[in-house]
Each structure stands twice: as C-alpha cells, then as structure tokens.
A and B are shown apart, each in its own frame.
Chain A
C-alpha cells in the first residue's frame, strides 16, 4: 500500500485545510460530545455531527490516500507485460488490482463525508489534490518492482497500521481491509528482491541499484520532520493521527534495516547503524528539500503520472456512457413490462 505521511500533513503541500486556526471561534455545543466520543476511543460515524475542520481534514487526507492508490498502479503496471515469468506476472497483476481495490475502498470512505468521487477525481486532474510523492519516481528495471514491494509498501504499512484505529469509522474500516491485503504486497517484493540478490552477479547488482534509488524516497514518504509538521497537533487531538512522522520513520527504519542484511543488500546510508543505547537504528538525515520539490510537482514523473491518469479517464468515457445508456434502456424495458 500506499499512503504517505506527507499527504497526511496538509501543510506540506500548502493545501488549505480546516485547521484549528480556521475553526469557528464560537464553539458549537455539540463539539464537546464529539470530542468526548473521540477521547473515549469511540468511532465517529458519517451521520454524526462533526466539526467542519474534522470533515475537511478527513476528506483531504482520504482523497489523497485514494489518489495515491490509483496513481500507484502506474509505476508497477509499467512492468506487467515484461515480468520475467508467468508466476511473477500473475502476482504483479494481483497486486496492481489490489491497489485499484484499495483506491475504491478509500473513495467509498471519503464519499460518506458528503463528497462525490467524481469531484475528487476532478480535483486530482486540476492538481488541487495530491498523491504520495513516491509514485513520481520511475521504475527503471524489473528489480524496482521488488524494491517497491519491500520498501514503499513497507513504509505504507508502517503509516497505515495506526490508521486502522483512526477515529473516523469508515476510514478505519477501509484501512483494516487494506492492511490485510498489503502484507502480501510487501512479502512478494521481499521475495522477488531476495531471489535477484542471490542470483547472478548482474541480478544482484540490479537489486542493489533498485535499493539505492528507492531507499531514501521511501524514508521521505513518511512525511516532513515533526518540526515542520503543521497539522499534527489537531489531527492527534481528533484521533486521526496516532504517531508523529518521525516516530513512524524510526519504526520503518528499525523494521527494514535488519531485513536488508538478510537480503544481502546495502542501504545507501553510511550513517545507518544500530544504537544500543537508544534501542533503535540511527540513520542519516533524509533530503526533505527533495521531498518538498517532488510533492510540489517537480519530481521525475509528476507530469507523466497526471497526464496518464487523465488520459485513461477520458479514454474510458465511452464505456461509462455506453453502460449508462444500457442501464437507462434496460430500466425503461423493465418498467414497461
């Protein structure tokens, strides 16, 4: 899977949000009941009263998460026709299909907040809603498919597991489903990279090259550092965000660093080492300037990804028109009978 901390932090992309600063100074009396439910670790359901900022924050976050799933089909879809075996091809198709499914679970959750999926897709096409920075990197070799499964899906899982306990019921339920399916994604990636790494010297080199390119973007996709994270406090109070970006990043590095040893691959971070005292891995400073650039639209593939999505949407218009016409005709026949 596929979400990223930086999209959970509206501030990173300068998308206006219903932040506390924008909240109505005259507090609604229902707000106390709402907050009491959250503080009691209860879930908020779609028809409950909720502050405007909560609704807006969730729509933005869930939509951007959904867009990430859908755009995330592109880098891997790029390799379906060239997968090295039927087994790998079947696995990759199943995975890309899952990403489509995850996008749909999430659009469905967003729609319970009173927006229509078509509106959200328009916002994506207009560049007014973002998706995860990670999908703006190209997949240059077959090994990239393995690296994405291991690292990108690994980072996404780290971010998504706490979202299974998010205060908004439909989002939390969608995340439970996503996380269940996601563990296959990470394992197939690990297995694929392991096979390459223990194959011929050329295959090993290809796996190492993929890890060199995907390591830092995966660490960066967990979002800007806590010091730059503008919406964390309110999102935490609302039970949307459970752990800070830096805490999730540490958890991710602690998970993948020992796995890299088993893979026989070396992460491109000379500062990566176990810190006995902290009980965690130390690691180098991610290039957050690069993250800002990629989120801001200047990654290697931003234009290509957006153009492809728009083209696929427009090319599919005749299918939607035809099925609507068929449904209308069929409804008329049924009514007449």
Chain B
C-alpha cells in the first residue's frame, strides 16, 4: 500500500503541470491585456505615446517575453513557493491570498458542517419513510430552497433582519466589528459568529438538496440489502439496524463527495461576499480575473489544483480504511 501511495503521489506532478499549463494558456488566450488596462485607466492619450507606455508596462509585468518562457519562469519560481507579485498592487500574491484565506475558510467550514448536519439526517429520514407525505414535503422544500437565487435571499434577509426597518438583529457588512480586538477570545468568536449568521444562511440553504438526495438514495440502496433483512430477522431493535448496519454502509458513497470538499473550502462565493462586503477568496479571484491579474489567477488555480489532486488521493486511501472489500494490491 505504501508503494501504491508513493506511485500515486508521483502521478500528481505531471497532472499538476498539465493543469497549470492549460490554465496558463487559456488565461493568455482570453482577450484583454493587463498593460492596456493599466494605461487606459488614465487619460485618453494620443496614439503614439500610449503605445510606447503600454510597451514599457508590459516589460514591468514580464509580458514582453514569449509565452513558453513566461510559463517556464513561473514554474521555476513555484518550486520555491514564490508566486510572484500581483500586477495590481505589486504585493506578494501569497500575502494577498493569506489575507483572504482565513475568512473564506471560516465561512466554508461552517457552511459545509451545517449542510452535512442537516442534510444527512434529512436524507436518512426520507429514505426510511419513502413516498410518505413528509418525504414529499421535504423533497419539495429542499428543491424550493435549491432554486432560490442567493442574491435575492440575501437582500430579503438584510431587509427583514438587519436594516432596522423591521428587525435589527444582525450587522449587514463585514465579518467582525471594529474594536473587537479588545474583546476576550470568547467575545471575538461570538462577534464573528454574529456577523456570519446571514451569510452562512445564504450559503447553506441551497446545498441541502444535493447532499440529502444523495444520502437518501444511498440509504435506500442499503436497506434493501439482504443483510439488513437478516439483521431485522434476528430481532435487532430498529435503531440498531439503521444506526449500526445500514448507516455505516450507506455513508461510503458520501466519501466520494468528500473529495470535492477540500478544494471547495477555498472557493469563495463572489455574490455573497460582494453583498456582505466580506473580503474573501471569491472576490479576490473574481477581481483578479476582471483585472487580468495573471499572477494571482495562476496562484489560485495552482493551489486549487494541488488541493483537488490531494483530496482525490485521500479519498482513495479512505476507501480502503472504511471498506475492507476494496484493496489496492488487487488493482
């Protein structure tokens, strides 16, 4: 097994290079040029001068060299974890990502935990009472939630709960109050939680449908199995049948979903971050794409790629641990 993991690890390297290579060239193929964007942000300038100024700016950004040379030097710097400087403000890319990362992580971990905590029991409940009125109601409800656009829900929530015309329970913007630095740790955590209530609601409600349907289907599969009938036949109490025999087997397919979790932790939601003025990864990547801030785009793509590859590997390893029927040696 160690050998297998080692082999898989080696495979990550060419895959990673492939992903970044494609990202790099697609990014450069997209119309728009950071140097022109910069020059055009000033006055309208006469033709000749603007051209020479754009050339100078391209040189500062290192865009005057051929594409393959640019990619080569990017890769070379990557080995030392140097993602370069942002074109926009000349700050190190890693620092910019580092500023937004904790916020996005907090938001996403909370969101994912809440989605799982609510949808898995919901799915199991539906599976145990298939076609019942309640099952139909839950299905309808989660699909209605799934279809509500988050920007609309966010606006409604703000108007009702936060703007003071009706209720004034929550703050509208940011993720922490000014002056919260002075609070105790407990106070700070409470303050952040208070700020995150509305954004987290907006990020979670749409996710119930997918996970709960998934666990419902997987549970339904399992409770039709012979061993469940056997368990019931030998007189085990129902909670033990479900909790011990059915649930554990039904959760194996959910593991595959875990593979998407790690990269999803980093992806922010542009819309929600925009509405609630939360400086997270979503806005950073969106703004970088609009500004053609190549170093930031590449860094985010590279980090995403690495995380995806690692989580795929992790899921495979977890399979073996959870399900003894699967083993690497046989493959």
Asked if A and B bind, the verdict is no
Chain B positions within 8 Å of A, measured between CB atoms, are none
Which residues of A are interface residues toward B (Cβ below 8 A)? none
